[in-house]
Chain A
Amino acid sequence: MASIPGTSSENTGPSLAKDRTERHLGGVLPIRAIRWPQVILFAVSLALFMLALELMKAGTRGVASVINHLLHVDDPLSGIGFGWLSSYLVLSGSPVAAIALTLLDVGTVGPHTAFSIIVGSRVGGSLVVVLVGLAYMIRGHQKGTSLLVGILALIITVSVYVVAWPLGMAALNASLGAVRVDLPAQAGVASLVDVVYGPPVELVARKLPAWSVFLLGVAATVLSLNLIDRTMPELDLEGHVFGRVSRLLYRPVISFVLGMVLTLLTMSVSVSLGLLVPLSVRGYIRRENLVPYIMGCNISTFVDTLIAGILLRNPVATDVVLTQMICILAVSIVVLVFVYRTYERLALGAAVWLNRRRDRMLVFFALILLTPVALLLVGRP
């Protein structure tokens, strides 16, 4: 079975149904039995991710002048533009969010700008799904198949962030420590990271120019996050009670929670969305399920960024991520509780309207490609 553009086919279709003999963990979670090679690979990926963050920190001074003086990423608006465009370059939002936290950690950008870069990275990350869908369309697949879900995901992400961003700015303004959570793991992680990664990173930093150390860190971040995605447990919704009840999922709050939980388990919005595919033998998903599900995905997709914040041992970085998660959660809950039906109609209506005609799509793509450039230019003197 082919997968939704931008999703991994490994977690969908026949592969989910092929081996029913594998037991579910405790019969409660739709997770297949523990595979130790995956556990080991996860540990290696996490170690690589930590190394990547340390490399980026060590090499930041090599790109600081580019970021501050050439691109002028020194205010929130240009931060959004930078994060948005950068996620196009790496075809994902998560590595850019990790970069933002690294830049914050070494003082290249402030908390507000880091917050905004993460916002931009998430919007840009949503667009990647649309762009891959566009590639499918160009290769001859039908337009409706390729683009509608991606466009909807982008519309939902942008619309939530339009409110969550100023809310987060205000929260950061009010008090950076207001939502500070000094996670107990941070102290232990700090000493461990210094002991394990200090010497090799120093060695690399001495041998290579700073900018190349930074780029090496970015490449390691992308690689490690991809590896982490691959090590996430396979979920079998089709054969589990969750799968049977999910056919009845119309209540938005339930779809929202399901999206949040499954994305937490898979650490990927696209993989999480793909998990719904086996529930429909014809490759369809109900509109009623999609909007709240994507809203839920958008919250727990921050878990890898939160891990990055913890690994950096910087409470402000953790604050920035938590503030973002709380703001998006707050906006999503307000939407779900008070204006959900209207929101659902508007979001779906806009996606269908855009998807209906090629000229509208062209204008849409032009706008989403040019907007981050415009935002980046806003910050220039």
Chain B
Amino acid sequence: MRILVTSDGMDTLERASEYASFFADPAVTGFKVLGFSSDEGKTAEERGVLNALRRDLKDGLGCPVDATLRCGDPVEEIMAETIAHDYGLVVLGIHLRRRLTRLRPKVVARQLASRTPAPLLVVFPEWDRLRRMLICTSAAHKDMPVVRTAGELAGLSDAAVTVLHVMSQIPITADADVADLERSAQELMEHDSREGLHFERALHILEQAGVPPTRAMAKIRRGLVVDQIVRESEEGDFDLITIGAHHVSSDRSWHELRELIQEDVAERVLLEARRPVLIVPARAVQADDSNGSKDTPV
């Protein structure tokens, strides 16, 4: 697996590289650091910073590290890079703490998440650890690639993992089974409910990916999806939130309408959580989905 480390500015690139080094492992065959020049007059200076960064990474990781400085639109350049080369992960360093730049990650990360073939890890300079990972799922089969990708990264970084499903449903018919809405994750698994079966499969995938059962657990929360994800990430002090990208493939019928009506939960999590977010792109989800069963209706 090769990892691409990039950012929307040189100041966030160093921290993105440090974060990417959490996944240093024999399975990682190489890193590439892609920097963007903010000003033509500063190119030489920025190239020097980039070379120093490459040397540090190479010494620390013990694997090949390439470094490139480019000008132009970061989204287009990163897209071109990920299409031309097969990356297992793209680490994007970005500022999120500054209120004025809140729009930037929204634009850059969303465009990348919906278009790059590789999982996109958005990190912020303020975050420098990876001990606990939160995997958010909608309890549908299409989220299994999200679990698998997160599991592989957790296996590389020895992070503990919590699989979270938020039940935002409320009953609307008199004969609705409200018991499922009130059960814990453990109880749902014991009762073989849809969410329980999903949790069991997710935990099994995590174990296969190298996360032992002692480091993995399932959890249910109730309420508005984004609010509960953010609250869980704060209460549990998670260092990374993993979520599937919401993207509608252009080969699906009514895809323009679907794209229009579908809210991007990953984007909202990215904006509101204010901690690193791993967005597993739609293409990975679809590729896996084509081999598996169809979604169970909610």
B180: chain A residues within 8 A (beta carbon) = 282
Asked if A283 and B262 make an inter-chain contact with CB atoms under 8 angstroms apart, the answer reads no
Interface size class of B (residues with CB under 8 A): 20 to 34
A4 to B262 Cα, complex, angstroms:
26
What's the minimum C-beta distance from B83 to chain A, rounded to whole angstroms?
A: 27
Beta-carbon nearest neighbor of B167 in chain A: A284
- Whether, in the assembled complex, B175 has its beta carbon less than 8 Å from a beta carbon of chain A, the answer is yes
Asked if A146 and B174 make an inter-chain contact with CB atoms under 8 angstroms apart, the answer reads yes
Given contacts A247-B297, A344-B224, contact A5 B176 (CB under 8 A): no
Asked if A145 and B261 make an inter-chain contact with CB atoms under 8 angstroms apart, the answer reads no
Asked if A287 and B260 make an inter-chain contact with CB atoms under 8 angstroms apart, the answer reads no
Asked if A284 and B174 make an inter-chain contact with CB atoms under 8 angstroms apart, the answer reads no
A1 to B173 Cα, complex, angstroms:
8
- Whether, in the assembled complex, B27 has its beta carbon less than 8 Å from a beta carbon of chain A, the answer is no
B181 touches which of A12, A284, A290 (Cβ 8 Å): A284
Asked if A148 and B169 make an inter-chain contact with CB atoms under 8 angstroms apart, the answer reads no
Chain B 145-170, CB within 8 Å of chain A: the 1/0 string? Answer: 00000000000000000000000111
Given contacts A248-B262, A287-B223, contact A3 B257 (CB under 8 A): no
- Whether, in the assembled complex, B288 has its beta carbon less than 8 Å from a beta carbon of chain A, the answer is no
Asked if A142 and B254 make an inter-chain contact with CB atoms under 8 angstroms apart, the answer reads no
Tally of A-B Cβ pairs under 8 angstroms: 108
Chain A 341-359, CB within 8 Å of chain B: the 1/0 string? Answer: 0001100100000000000
Beta-carbon nearest neighbor of A12 in chain B: B173
A148 touches which of B171, B224, B253, B258 (Cβ 8 Å): B171
What's the minimum C-beta distance from A272 to chain B, rounded to whole angstroms?
A: 12
Asked if A4 and B172 make an inter-chain contact with CB atoms under 8 angstroms apart, the answer reads yes
Given contacts A136-B174, A250-B263, A251-B263, contact A287 B257 (CB under 8 A): no
Asked if B254 and A145 make an inter-chain contact with CB atoms under 8 angstroms apart, the answer reads no
Interface size class of A (residues with CB under 8 A): 35 or more
A1: chain B residues within 8 A (beta carbon) = 173, 175
Given contacts A250-B263, A344-B224, A345-B224, contact A245 B254 (CB under 8 A): yes
- Of the listed residues B224, B225, B260, the one surrounded by the most CB atoms of chain A closer than 10 A to its CB is B224
- Whether, in the assembled complex, A134 has its beta carbon less than 8 Å from a beta carbon of chain B, the answer is no
Asked if A283 and B261 make an inter-chain contact with CB atoms under 8 angstroms apart, the answer reads no
- Whether, in the assembled complex, B265 has its beta carbon less than 8 Å from a beta carbon of chain A, the answer is yes
B171: chain A residues within 8 A (beta carbon) = 142, 144-145, 148-149, 283-285
B100: chain A residues within 8 A (beta carbon) = none
- Whether, in the assembled complex, B71 has its beta carbon less than 8 Å from a beta carbon of chain A, the answer is no
Asked if A284 and B170 make an inter-chain contact with CB atoms under 8 angstroms apart, the answer reads yes
Asked if B181 and A144 make an inter-chain contact with CB atoms under 8 angstroms apart, the answer reads yes
Asked if A3 and B173 make an inter-chain contact with CB atoms under 8 angstroms apart, the answer reads yes
Asked if A287 and B172 make an inter-chain contact with CB atoms under 8 angstroms apart, the answer reads no
A142 to B172 Cα, complex, angstroms:
12
Asked if A145 and B174 make an inter-chain contact with CB atoms under 8 angstroms apart, the answer reads yes
Beta-carbon nearest neighbor of A152 in chain B: B170
A286: chain B residues within 8 A (beta carbon) = 168-170, 298
Asked if A141 and B172 make an inter-chain contact with CB atoms under 8 angstroms apart, the answer reads no
B253: chain A residues within 8 A (beta carbon) = 241
Asked if A345 and B227 make an inter-chain contact with CB atoms under 8 angstroms apart, the answer reads yes
Asked if A247 and B298 make an inter-chain contact with CB atoms under 8 angstroms apart, the answer reads yes
What's the minimum C-beta distance from B6 to chain A, rounded to whole angstroms?
A: 30
What's the minimum C-beta distance from B102 to chain A, rounded to whole angstroms?
A: 15
- Whether, in the assembled complex, A276 has its beta carbon less than 8 Å from a beta carbon of chain B, the answer is yes
Asked if B175 and A280 make an inter-chain contact with CB atoms under 8 angstroms apart, the answer reads no
- Whether, in the assembled complex, B177 has its beta carbon less than 8 Å from a beta carbon of chain A, the answer is yes
A82 to B123 Cα, complex, angstroms:
59
- Whether, in the assembled complex, A174 has its beta carbon less than 8 Å from a beta carbon of chain B, the answer is no
- Whether, in the assembled complex, B44 has its beta carbon less than 8 Å from a beta carbon of chain A, the answer is no
- Whether, in the assembled complex, B52 has its beta carbon less than 8 Å from a beta carbon of chain A, the answer is no
Q: What are 30 A-B pairs with beta-carbon distances under 8 A?
A: A3-B173, A12-B173, A136-B174, A142-B178, A145-B171, A148-B171, A149-B170, A149-B171, A245-B257, A247-B298, A250-B261, A250-B262, A250-B263, A250-B265, A251-B261, A274-B172, A277-B173, A280-B298, A281-B298, A282-B169, A282-B177, A283-B175, A284-B171, A285-B169, A285-B172, A286-B170, A287-B168, A288-B263, A344-B224, A345-B227
Across chains A and B, which 9 residue pairs bring their CB atoms closest together, nearest first? A283-B176, A284-B169, A250-B263, A283-B173, A2-B174, A254-B261, A251-B263, A145-B171, A285-B172
**Beyond A282-B176, A285-B169, A287-B170: 19 further Cβ-contacts under 8 Å?**
A1-B173, A1-B175, A136-B174, A141-B174, A144-B181, A145-B176, A241-B253, A245-B254, A245-B261, A248-B261, A250-B261, A251-B262, A280-B172, A281-B297, A283-B175, A284-B176, A284-B298, A287-B223, A348-B223
